């Protein structure tokens, strides 16, 4: 069985998964980020190949036909997908884990194909706080904020797909929780059993 930790982080927009993902990757150098492909426009400060691979819709659809995605979905009118090559890259680079920042549709697809993938859903402390965070970002117009807020209800309804739930009501505590989950998954017995067996054989 593949010992690469496949950690899926999902949340409604504004609940904090991007902040938590960045913290996790800063703390665990042997984990890498799965850079998704998307047809949406880059936001201010985003760079192609870092936050996303930004491509046009025609190219995205051709990649679907080529079977290039481990998962893909349409979210808020834009297409998002995880390339199979991202998982292969993590293995080639000798990483211990790879983190996916995707929505519940993508999480369902990955867990269907790779049952040992681990899903973490980040919840806001309240819907009122979620709206406040969306409005406070200052990166989207009122109609976009309203659409994301309305979609949050649908996204939260799918919490049952996930192995862990985290209420992001205290950022520092949430950072510690995500880090703890990643480390716990990396130390599951079945992942390290081959090493234990090798140690036993070496002493005989």
CB 201 within 8 A of CB 158: no
Q: Which residues of the chain have pLDDT under 50?
A: 1
Burial category of 142 from C-beta neighbours within 10 Å (exposed 0-12, middle 13-18, buried 19 and up): exposed
- 24 occurs within a structural domain: yes
- Number of domains observed in the structure of the chain: 1
- 72 occurs within a structural domain: no
- 146 occurs within a structural domain: yes
- 80 occurs within a structural domain: no
pLDDT at 43: 85
38-60 pLDDT, tens digit per residue, is 999 998 889 898 889 999 999 99
CATH of the domain at 177: 3.40.50.300
Q: Dihedral (C-alpha) 182, 186, 190, 195: value to the nearest 10 degrees?
A: -170
- 67 occurs within a structural domain: no
DSSP helix/strand/coil, 117: coil
- 173 occurs within a structural domain: yes
pLDDT at 1: 42
- The residue with tokens 């519940």 is 104
pLDDT at 2: 62
- 57 occurs within a structural domain: no
Q: How would DSSP label each residue in 125-173?
A: S-HHHHHHHHHHH-SS-HHHHHHHHHHHHHHHTTGGG-SEEEE-SSHHH
- 65 occurs within a structural domain: no
Task: Please state the pTM of the whole predicted model.
Answer: 0.85
Q: Quote the domain boundaries for residue 102.
A: 5-34+96-202
């Amino acid at each position: 069985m593949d010992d690469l930790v496949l950690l899926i982080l999902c949340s409604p927009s504004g609940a904090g998964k991007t902040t938590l993902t960045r913290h996790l990757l800063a703390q665990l150098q042997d984990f890498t980020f799965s850079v998704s492909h998307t047809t949406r426009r880059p936001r201010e400060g985003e760079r192609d190949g870092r936050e996303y691979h930004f491509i046009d819709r025609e190219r995205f659809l051709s990649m679907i036909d080529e079977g290039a995605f481990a998962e893909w979905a349409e979210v808020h009118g834009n297409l998002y997908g995880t390339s199979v090559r991202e998982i292969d890259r993590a293995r080639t680079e000798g990483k211990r884990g790879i983190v996916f920042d995707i929505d519940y549709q993508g999480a369902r697809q990955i867990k269907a194909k790779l049952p040992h993938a681990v899903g973490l859903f980040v919840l806001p402390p309240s819907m009122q706080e979620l709206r406040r965070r969306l409005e406070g970002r200052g990166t989207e117009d009122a109609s976009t904020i309203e659409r994301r807020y309305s979609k949050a209800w649908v996204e939260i309804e799918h919490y049952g797909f996930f192995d862990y739930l985290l209420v992001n009501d205290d950022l520092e505590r949430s950072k510690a929780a995500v880090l703890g989950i990643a480390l716990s998954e990396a130390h599951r017995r079945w992942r390290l059993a081959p090493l234990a067996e090798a140690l036993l054989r070496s002493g005989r």
